Structure 1
Amino acid sequence: MKSVIGLVVGLAIATQATATELILYPVQIGSETVRYRTGIPTLNLETASGSVTVTPLPLDHNHATFGVAVYNKADNSVNFGVENVTATIAGKPIPVLSREELQRRAKNRAAWSMVGIALLSGVAAAAVSTAHTTSQSYGNIRTPHGTYFWSSSYRDNSLGAVAAGATVAAGTAGIVGVQNRLDYTLGTLATDILQTTTIDPDNSYGGIVVIEKPSGIAAPYDVTVSMHLNGVEYPFTFRLTEQGKNKPAPFTEAAFGNHPRLSHSTPAPVPPTIAPATSSLPSQSVPASSLPPPAASSS
């Protein structure tokens, strides 16, 4: 029994040890612009008929996942959904997963989680039992990682049986918790996954897009996801690789769509022009006879 427990625990540790943290890095392939927020890039492409932005999201079980938003600049309404999204990996088409497919997989993952909890619960219950041959049980269980065989024995009114019962109860509580998380996940998928929606002129819509994980291709690899809106293709490429490794070349300065700082300085006011003062009285001529005679000069 201890060997069975060790096998299960060892499998969990080995799975954690071999898991690598993968991340999506943007790759510049054209005239797209990029902006960053707390280290997360958002790419944008804009044409006369629309605008599309794509943001890489945390991977869903190593599936490339993106947040997509589109803006309709055309004069007519347009439908947009998963059917308007295509993807390629290493130049080969790769499926874009629908909401229904993602919900089916979410249920399956939850089922395997429940099986795992039940298996560990049963193994632990058998391990704490002090019975010998009073009541023997044998069985096997298949998982995605192989088939495991187990056996257990119980004796009524023993402390071991009480402990085993408590362990089984804890396992049942764990399964209920998994079911609750599944319900939440399915509800989120129903609202967040990109689905066919009519976008009126000057309106936008967005959702989550999940790309199928390729078989036989190991990271790093480049995945190109393209949106098709109003007859125009908007392609974006990302490199899926281990964090900090095999990073693509940085984007050019032009890709940042930089805008020069606007000058807010106010010019000095121009002083008003002051005209010379003029008399408002009319000018009068003085007769020469009225002027005093000039003074006589001494010789």
Structure 2
Amino acid sequence: MDLEKIAKRKAGWANFAVAMAGGLGAVAANANANRTYTTVGRSRFGSYYSQTTVRDNTAAAVGTAASIGGAAYTMSRINHNLEQTLGSVQNEVIQTTTVDPRTNYGGMLVLDKFKVAKNSPGRLELVIRRNAGDEEGYRVAFDLKR
């Protein structure tokens, strides 16, 4: 799978989760804005019971703003990290057209996952060729550790 698609998919799911959490936080802030006060007392005329519910819209507004603002900031950080990742992928991943035999190149090489047999040697050698006729190619060796 393409590295850009993977990064975009992960960022999309992270943004979705943050948006859901921000929305739930706003709902919780609105639900918490209602306060109920109960009074029970006795007088010489008998006992009395009073219950009063007060809605504090300021608390609801502050809680909602904090929840939505936090979610928006987190989503902007996710998108910023996505842009950095995409820039890194475009600038540092070795492409088949950028490797010249017998020259140096700095960057990052990304391979798909592969399985190595348990009894295989402890060294993996990767040969990168510009084309099928390139016999020497560019050799990179890795020591396999378990």
TM-score of the alignment, normalized to the shorter chain, above 0.5: yes
Query: Residue 128 of structure 1 aligns with which residue?
Result: 29
- Greater relative contact order (Cα 8 A, min sep 6): structure 1 or 2? 1
1:1-299 alignment, distance < 5 Å? 101-129=2-30, 130=32, 157-195=57-95, 196-197=97-98, 199=100, 203-213=103-113, 224=124, 226-229=126-129, 230-232=134-136, 234=139, 236-239=141-144, 241=146
CA distance in 2 between counterparts of 1:120 and 1:168 reads 9
Number of corresponding residues = 115
CA distance in 2 between counterparts of 1:240 and 1:110 reads 31
Percent identity of the aligned residues?
24
CA-CA distance at 1:168 after TM superposition:
0.9
CA distance in 2 between counterparts of 1:237 and 1:204 reads 17
Q: Which has a greater percent of helix?
A: 2
| CA 210–199 in structure 1, closer or farther in 2 if over 3 Å, else same | closer
SS for the counterpart of 1:194 is: coil
Letter in 2 for 1:106: A
Letter in 1 for 2:60: G
Structure 2: state its 5+ residue gaps: 35-54
RMSD: 3.4
C-alpha distance after superposition, 1:33-55 (max 9, x if no partner): xxxxxxxxxxxxxxxxxxxxxxx
Q: Which has a greater percent of strand?
A: 1
Letter in 1 for 2:77: G
CA distance in 1 between counterparts of 2:33 and 2:123 reads 57
CA distance in 2 between counterparts of 1:116 and 1:225 reads 41
CA distance in 2 between counterparts of 1:237 and 1:120 reads 43
| CA 235–209 in structure 1, closer or farther in 2 if over 3 Å, else same | closer
C-alpha distance after superposition, 1:237-257 (max 9, x if no partner): 44354xxxxxxxxxxxxxxxx
